[in-house]
Structure 1
């Protein structure tokens, strides 16, 4: 009897528990099936202060939206102009509060631009450029500056470029002064600065990588006004073309010594260099990655310190005298000098045809100390075996790149280049192996040509014209001219044409100097891409530099 009673109690408890679970399940809220998807972005329904209100003196801003929202990357997305200093935020399901740490300035119009920070909680529809504007005085400033930002060397229109506006004075420098008004470009490179007071301003646009509102010249692309200021009395349009303008002085940043080489790493590019006090027939060197110098000692048993002086021209054409103290590390007992074959790369690579303008290039990983030109032979299909005169060969400054000039190559449609064993000896006494490669000239009818003219308002102007691969912006051909340009024997493909105004006629593009408010040399593009087919001639292109 007692056992039956226990079972009845357990059954009653279990039934009650299941009933509770079923009731909870029935009470859960669910999105009803069907119906239209929410595609509307959130909007401000209430705010303190109200949008476009006047005489606001508070230190707390409250914003409520018309639906539940999510708030993301507020510290990055929220742009407050002019700056209010530090502040705290409190997030609510339908809004947020901003608590200011300092008092607002008198006679000032403030803009709180949330950009892409606000999205609805259900479908994540982003409220684009949600703004709250108010004034601490009777008047709301209403002037605007709008424009577009592009990259000078590619013509692309980048997003999130900081466009900065500074109250003008003689001590304004964009690397030490934070802007009074600022905004960031949208996905099309457009910007709009609103609610600006009348006055004189300086302007700049730069990629603010670290979001500190200060320009960093060695990392961030920039453009700026070359004039002293803008006297803002009406709405204006101002466009910018940004480029990297690293003004850092050349410095030695790191030295790495091994038993075989000493590597000097510099902080910026090296355009050219000469050495003095170099021991004869012992020291070899080469430039690596445009910034670094590596030295090799021919006689590795010599561990004496070598003192030399390098005269270096950096990428800004500035000259430096750099003393170098070269000390090779001694070989340890565990280290063994293992001789390896001297490798090299040949261009054009195997299987690729020679264009009518091609020379043959042989590139080595390290300098070559000995070689014999007659060990490079050319065999034609007719059975001819040819060796070339010494003037057919040209070594670069570092003795690690050999060019066999186009004019001396066999004119037969097909031939074979043969390099005998030990034709080249490296600085480690490593020798090259036997190498053969079949070569074939491409039919000239498989190429095309492109020509045109440059219009300029300045007489005797000089230009650098670059034919670029359209997908990579890699220069394919380059020439210098005053007006007319012509590219011949061009491979079929899609290209763009970039024109650099060589203002100082030094033969290369010069970057600007933001401290001197000197802009980079102007760059122009032919509008649109050029699709060149085999045996086609594209003529009379016109590139206008009078824009």
Structure 2
């Protein structure tokens, strides 16, 4: 692994990745980055009244250029530098006229590598077109607006106004999400951060971004104590997914509300009974295609039509009709129904082919069968039962397209209330509408929207460790909303509580959640 080395003169050379195979000539592997020779740098670093259009750096060894179009940056970005190589000397030039009385910093970030091991160098060269070097600094941390995690390798820019696309000054964030600006001119700037996906140093509408509504006045060295939060704006109306789940369902996912849309697959239109909305932007359509390989679907509404297509494989066409359980595990809580589902709508059921057994003594359990759409519920008296076994014979259910179900067997443990825990949440320190999310292993187990009382209860919890997240749901749409650049609305505030709440069987615990600083 390469080592970090600093040089005594003002040019900074930083060694970065170098994990390449050495030569076979023997001797120790070269782990030293090429060093610029201070006396041979022309013009000298921190030159005043700079009026040229080139800078040359001579190194202490033969070097190679590495993608100069991407690795050379001039800040402020008033010119597009290029580079040429002659033996040990790199010359950076530009054609544009630089602005008067301005301090510039030229970065060569990995532009220069040695020819053997690939050790590279970061050079920071400073000059001014005026008679002084600007010396103010500003630093800020960039974080993800939802996860609150630092964002590495993003751009933070200082802009003339809030609607500017190209920054006057820019800096790239490190692993801690920190962006450091040096050699700044005193003034008023708008601060924006973004994920520069296409590496053009311009904030694009679709890129993850964040901004300060109020400008920052830089007339001293400033370390901003408030992180800048970025998020990806909602993209325009788009279908995210269209897939077939054999033998009788199509699923459509979108980034917009599908609840008032019309659906069509090939020539098939759908009634309300043939549609299930899993969420407002996710829908299941019951339809068994004919023998075609490519199936097209159409989503229409608000004067627009989205056209989709998916491929039906030979394996899909041969998929039998099978049951699946809606339980997340093979445990049935007192608050849960014993429900099975199919990927096709149900036409008829032969209840004589359903057998429910008490696994303790193999005795039959009296039960009833209820069904709706594609779901079947098995209803029985659970008193004193610890485990049951359900056996369904082949052909017990007929789908609307005439297909018969395969045989199915499953064993379910019957749980009682005292095997679960309860958490009472007090969030009365909040005053705005909030979503309270209960998390386990980073996944949302349950969530609820609180508009006024700011107290809620999570019952029937499996013993384990839980955490909480609160979202200030300003528009009360029961989901987190990212930044809206058009309206200048910031992403909704998210509070993640890292303290673990341990839930035990037959226990009740109280949790108080307050806004975090």
Q: TM-score, normalised by structure 2?
A: 0.74
2:100 aligns to what? 106
| Pairing partner for 2:365 from 374, 382, 385 | 385
- Provide the C-alpha distance between the structure 1 equivalents of 2:512 and 2:109, rounded to a whole number of angstroms: 41
Task: Classify the secondary structure of the residue corresponding to 1:195.
Answer: strand
Displacement of 1:532: 3.9
Please list, as runs of the form range in 1=range in 2, the aligned pairs for 1:154-193 lying within 5 A after superposition.
Answer: 154-168=147-161, 172-173=163-164, 177-193=165-181
- Cα separation, partners in 2 of 1:162 and 1:309, compared to 1, 3 Å: closer
1:78 aligns to what? 72
1:20 aligns to what? none
Displacement of 1:124: 5.7
| Corresponding position: 1:241 with 2:229 | yes
Q: Residues 191-234 of structure 1: CA distance to partner in whole angstroms, max 9, x if unpaired?
A: 1122222333222211111112233444x32222233x333333
Q: Residues 252-309 of structure 1: CA distance to partner in whole angstroms, max 9, x if unpaired?
A: 799999xx999897863445345499968799456799977676667979xxxx9998
State the number of aligned residues.
474
1:48 aligns to what? 42
| Pairing partner for 1:500 from 467, 471, 476 | 471
Task: Classify the secondary structure of the residue corresponding to 1:80.
Answer: strand
Does structure 2 conserve the Cα–Cα contact (< 8 Å) formed by 1:448 and 1:537?
Answer: yes
- Cα separation, partners in 2 of 1:93 and 1:416, compared to 1, 3 Å: farther
1:519 aligns to what? 490
| Corresponding position: 1:368 with 2:366 | no
- Cα separation, partners in 2 of 1:505 and 1:122, compared to 1, 3 Å: same
1:223 aligns to what? 210
| Corresponding position: 1:203 with 2:183 | no
Please list, as runs of the form range in 1=range in 2, the aligned pairs for 1:134-533 lying within 5 A after superposition.
Answer: 134-168=127-161, 172-173=163-164, 177-218=165-206, 220-227=207-214, 229-236=215-222, 237=224, 238-248=226-236, 250=237, 268-270=255-257, 272-275=259-262, 284-285=274-275, 310-311=300-301, 320=302, 322=304, 341-348=320-327, 352-355=330-333, 357-365=335-343, 367-372=344-349, 374=351, 378-381=356-359, 383-388=363-368, 390=370, 399-400=373-374, 402=375, 404=377, 412-441=385-414, 453-454=426-427, 456=429, 459=431, 461-470=432-441, 473-481=442-450, 483-484=454-455, 486-491=457-462, 495-527=466-498, 530=500, 532=502
Deviates more, 1:499-508 or 1:444-453: 444-453
1:9 aligns to what? none
- Provide the C-alpha distance between the structure 2 equivalents of 1:477 and 1:253, rounded to a whole number of angstroms: 25
Task: Classify the secondary structure of the residue corresponding to 1:519.
Answer: coil
- Cα separation, partners in 2 of 1:371 and 1:44, compared to 1, 3 Å: farther
Does structure 1 conserve the Cα–Cα contact (< 8 Å) formed by 2:78 and 2:96?
Answer: yes
- Provide the C-alpha distance between the structure 1 equivalents of 2:347 and 2:119, rounded to a whole number of angstroms: 69
Task: Classify the secondary structure of the residue corresponding to 1:104.
Answer: coil
Does structure 2 conserve the Cα–Cα contact (< 8 Å) formed by 1:167 and 1:199?
Answer: no
- Cα separation, partners in 2 of 1:432 and 1:70, compared to 1, 3 Å: same
- Provide the C-alpha distance between the structure 1 equivalents of 2:324 and 2:445, rounded to a whole number of angstroms: 20
Displacement of 1:463: 1.8
1:545 aligns to what? 515
2:14 aligns to what? none
Does structure 1 conserve the Cα–Cα contact (< 8 Å) formed by 2:209 and 2:483?
Answer: no
Displacement of 1:413: 1.6
Does structure 2 conserve the Cα–Cα contact (< 8 Å) formed by 1:284 and 1:298?
Answer: no
| The structure with more radius of gyration | 1
Q: Residues 430-452 of structure 1: CA distance to partner in whole angstroms, max 9, x if unpaired?
A: 22122121100357777656555
- Provide the C-alpha distance between the structure 1 equivalents of 2:189 and 2:74, rounded to a whole number of angstroms: 18
Q: CA RMSD, aligned part only? A: 4.7
- Provide the C-alpha distance between the structure 1 equivalents of 2:355 and 2:384, rounded to a whole number of angstroms: 14
Task: Classify the secondary structure of the residue corresponding to 2:70.
Answer: helix
Q: Residues 94-123 of structure 1: CA distance to partner in whole angstroms, max 9, x if unpaired?
A: 552211122222121111233455566666
- Provide the C-alpha distance between the structure 2 equivalents of 1:486 and 1:389, rounded to a whole number of angstroms: 32
Q: Residues 477-533 of structure 1: CA distance to partner in whole angstroms, max 9, x if unpaired?
A: 3233454455445445555422111123332222221121101110011145x2747
- Provide the C-alpha distance between the structure 1 equivalents of 2:186 and 2:407, rounded to a whole number of angstroms: 77
Gaps of 5+ in 1: 1-27, 312-319, 328-334
- Cα separation, partners in 2 of 1:534 and 1:212, compared to 1, 3 Å: same
Does structure 2 conserve the Cα–Cα contact (< 8 Å) formed by 1:61 and 1:97?
Answer: yes
